[in-house]
Structure 1
Amino acid sequence: MADLAQEPDMPGALAPAQPVHGGPDALGAARHDFSTNSNACGPCPQALAAVQQADATRYPDPAYTHLRARLAAFHGVAPARIVLAASASEFIHRVTALAAQRGVRAVALPAHSYGDYAQAAQARGLRLLRPADAGHAAAGLHWACDPSSPLGGADPAWAAWRGARSGASEHAAAGALRVLDCAYAPLRLHTGHGVAGPRAWEVPDTGLATWQFWTPNKALGLTGVRAAYAIAPPGADADVAALHALAPSWLVGAHGVALLDCWADPATQHWLAHCLPVLRDWKARQQALCADLGWAVVTGSQANYFCAQVPAADVQAAVRHLRTHGIQVRDCRSFGLPGTVRLGVLPPASQDALRWAWLAGKGR
């Protein structure tokens, strides 16, 4: 998860804004890393073995013929609708480049969102519009993420797009590119109707002109392997061809191919289905722990992460204090949520370490 910092690292430096990430930092990997949304039950044994056994001595097929057919069968679509990507971030930049190529001048973003949506638009001089901004519905490129980031709830834009199919809403202008980020869908622990079950993460082909893109490395607990793919809406042949033309050769290496191929395996999906109830139990425990520490848990998260408001005079200092004790959380200032942190769900031992570190510093 990356977002854009509001200022350079060094005062007075003429440096571009730097991305803010969860995960390892200058101190290395934290022993208890709550700052990412990776599946804490991972890594998936099947996927790990597939990556370790990948043949890195050869180029992959540049057309990814077998892999695209396998992913297409997995989702029940034609192989021509599968577009490989080096990562979610790479696809975000490429589809934004396509939008700019088509003459788009404004991009509609969720109220709080993954920073690469904005970074890709700003790099091409496109205007950023949030839901409260005038002209939001008329933007030429619309992003949604469900479950949302960083709050983990249902994305109102996606609900509106589905409503548009029945004439209930005209959320995006005719001809606009709609892209649904499904990064966290496989780790949905709850739905509006209760507990999520196996393959509840699947997004139906609604007939809307909506792209979906998928990054299974989070669900498989292998975020260090960079690989993703998108599913084009029906009838988007011209945009598919344009995206292929914008891509460099060999987008995905041997290890990424192995991961995506394994993602479509029934045994992998069986493993993931068994992770969900474990993560639900850990999440309930972790939210109770946060409440016990006096943190105000933000309700509505359906995913394996949630946000909480921290009762500290200086939240940044509190975050730094936790980091010195091997605990890393995600400061949500760059999401426009000051005083709030996001926590991926971790096992009880890590939760207990968080409790100890917080009480040791008394919240700073």
Structure 2
Amino acid sequence: MTITHGGPDAQGVPRWDFSTNVNACGPCPSALNAVQQADARHYPDPAYTALRESLAAFHAVDAARIVLAGSASEFIGRFTAWVAREGGQQVWLPALAYGDYAHAAQAWQFEVVHDPARAQLAWLCEPSSPLGQAEPMAQRVAASGAPVVLDRAYEPLRLSGRCSLDPATLQGVWQLWTPNKAMGLTGVRGAYAIAPERAGAEARALDQLAPSWPLGAHAVALLGAWVSPAAQDWLALSLQTLRGWKREQLDLLAELGWQALPSEANYVCAAPRRPLDAPALRATGIKLRDTTSFGLPSHWRLGVLPPEAQRALGQALAHAEVMQ
């Protein structure tokens, strides 16, 4: 399997990394401190009792509805395996989406269908990736009767708009949360899902499919910190900063002749007016995310970064224009 992803590569960590959707204001100080102070000398509680209770209290749901996962990708694979075990054979996927949904479906030999009413599994993501938009099929998919997973990885980094599903509808779908992006700590892997109401048996089945200790001590610390008032207050302030940075970044792209697509999150997809020399940009310490693997060729996804990084991007692209 060839993995296409943003972030560090064989050349190391890019100095100006526009290729990921991490919160560029991070890391969150209280979350970072919790991770640094995590006691890695011992196993976590294998039942994660305290963590489940704190996550449940944060979302105002019963703790039995919390399903812990090693990462969003691990949950995607496990959930697909569970649906396959139950006899599922068809999956509905967004037109543009994170590749792990399709990879898991392919691994379990699911047929991709275009009508959600035919599916036994459906994936949603809002704000979507790579576009950062609402999913136009969200209401129809949620009403399809299939197990539906709403990937909410970027909900904490939403800068405008709101979820397409109302609170009552949300209680009928699986909600997948990965707070490491919002906390600015993507190197700490850990996620959780909230099962729909009256899906206790399904939640227990997914727990039984998990390996022992899917979360290590550092992931437990991160998820525990994520729901704390200190982390949530910091996140709220960071969103204000990101909104200002995003306006500046969109202005820069417009000045350079790029066509940016609408986005409600801390990232944007845009098409340059000329083909981009990504290796040359990478050599200057700048990395963008080619969205071809998402199904969107000729575009690049750019996470919102601070003004210093934007200046570096503008200078590099202006230099490339002169060289061409």
- Which TM-score applies when normalising by structure 2? 0.96
> After TM superposition, what 4+ stretches of structure 1 lie above 6 angstroms from structure 2?
200-203
Counterpart for residue 152 of structure 1: 132
Native 8 Å contact 1:112 1:149 kept in 2 = yes
Residues 1:203 and 1:69: Cα distance change in structure 2 (over 3 Å)? farther
Does 2:217 correspond to 1:254? yes
* Residue 306 of structure 1 pairs with residue 268 of structure 2: yes
- Partners of 2:255 and 2:101 lie apart in 1 by 35
Candidates 187, 190, 195, aligned match of 2:157: 187
Structure 1 residues 203 and 265: CA distance shift in structure 2, 3 A: farther
> How far did residue 128 of structure 1 move?
2.1
Offset, 1:203: 7.5
Cα 1:146–1:282 shift into 2, 3 Å: same
Given the alignment, which residue of 330, 345, 348 partners 2:289?
330
From 58, 69, 80, the equivalent of 2:53 is: 69
Measure, in 1, the Cα distance between the counterparts of 2:319 and 2:170.
54
- Structure 2 residues without counterparts, runs of 5 or longer: none
> In 2, Cα distance between the equivalents of 1:203 and 1:354?
39
Aligned to 2:189: 226
- The offset of 1:239, in angstroms, is 1.0
- The equivalent residue for 2:76 is 92
The answer as to whether partners of 1:46 and 1:268 remain within 8 angstroms in 2 is yes
- Distance, in Å, in 2 between the alignment partners of 1:90 and 1:341 is 26
Following superposition, the deviation at residue 206 of structure 1 comes to 3.1
Of the three residues 79, 99, 118, the one matched with 2:63 is 79
Within a 5 Å distance, the mapping from 1:96-245 to structure 2 comes to 96-129=80-113, 133=114, 135-161=115-141, 164=143, 172=144, 174=145, 176-191=146-161, 204-206=167-169, 208-245=171-208
Conservation of the 8 A alpha-carbon contact between 2:138 and 2:165: no
Aligned equivalent of 1:274: 237
Question: 2:256 corresponds to which letter in structure 1?
Answer: L
Q: Which amino acid aligns with 2:74?
A: E
> Paired residues, what number?
323
Does residue 24 (structure 1) correspond to residue 24 (structure 2)? The answer is no
Relative contact order, CA 8 A, sep 6+: which one is greater?
2
RMSD of the TM alignment (CA)? Answer: 1.7
C-alpha distance 201-278 of structure 1, shift in aligned 2 (>3 A): farther
2:62 aligned partner, one-letter code? A
TM-score, structure 1 length as denominator? Answer: 0.86
Amino acid aligned to 1:138: R
- Residue 154 of structure 1 deviates from its aligned partner by 0.6
- 1:349 aligns to 2:308 (yes or no): yes
